[in-house]
Amino acid sequence: MHRLLPLLIMLLFACNEKSEPIPAWQVSTGANLRFDIRLDSQIYRLSNFGEPPPMAIWMENETSGDVRTLWVTSRMATGVWVGKVVCPTALPYWVSRREIETDGSIPSYLKPLPDGITGATPKEDLTIFTRVDSATTWSYYLELNVSGDYNVDFPASMPNGTPDPDGNGQPSLIYGGTITVEPGASSTGNYLGMTDQWRAVDEIDTMRSGLTTADKVLQDFHVRYIP
């Protein structure tokens, strides 16, 4: 038994090492980028539903035309909503970019996004990693949307008296910036615009008129190169 003990210990440690797979972003070729998002939970808790906002994070390369989704909250990624199968005004701008990325395919209950790029909606903080080719330049984006954050300009009912069909309230907001993938690179995402309360639009309205709480939810959106 004493002679077998060292061998058993070696096998135990060997099994432990093999049971911890290396994250995909660490083994892919290229350079690392780290995305840090921080939300103010006190703001979204003031909405009618009090839930953290659905979000999507993606990158676009203007030179190659490549659109790359990095992370999407689970409801959007799986097409599973409370009491309905679609919510077109949740993250409409990202959906329009996803259609370019996949030649028309968007997430649904039958065709959800892979587990590796989706997860529960973060209550306050989220950190994700990705790898891209070194020395390339990318535009990066974050779209988020607090449901039920109604105000005077974005009311709970349509002009004809019909309740807001998606429980949308203030529309989704888009933030972003540009980063060149090289040592020391760092960039902070800024407000780019909003979508629409009633329609699933594929463009950004650069104004911020009527927003009272939606543009206070995101506290920080930062991207940086990781050696």
Q: List per-residue pLDDT tens for the chain, 227 residues long.
A: 445 444 333 333 333 333 333 444 444 567 899 999 999 999 999 999 899 999 999 999 989 999 999 999 888 888 777 656 578 899 999 999 999 999 888 787 777 788 778 887 788 899 999 999 999 999 999 999 999 999 999 999 988 889 998 999 999 999 999 999 999 999 999 999 999 999 999 999 999 999 999 999 999 999 999 98
Owning domain of residue 208: 31-226
Per the listing, tokens 């350079």 go with 31
pLDDT tens-place string over residues 5-49: 443 333 333 333 333 334 444 445 678 999 999 999 999 999 998
Domain presence at residue 3: no
**Of residues 62, 53, 60, the one with CA closest to residue 171:** 53
Q: CA-based angle 43:47:48, to the nearest 5?
A: 160
Q: How many domains does the chain divide into?
A: 1
Q: Taking the CB of residue 181, how many other CB atoms lie within 10 A of it?
A: 18
| d(C-alpha 104, C-alpha 84), whole Å | 22
Per the listing, tokens 């949308």 go with 168
pLDDT tens-place string over residues 105-122: 878 777 778 877 888 778
Six-digit token string for 219: 């506290």
Domain presence at residue 45: yes
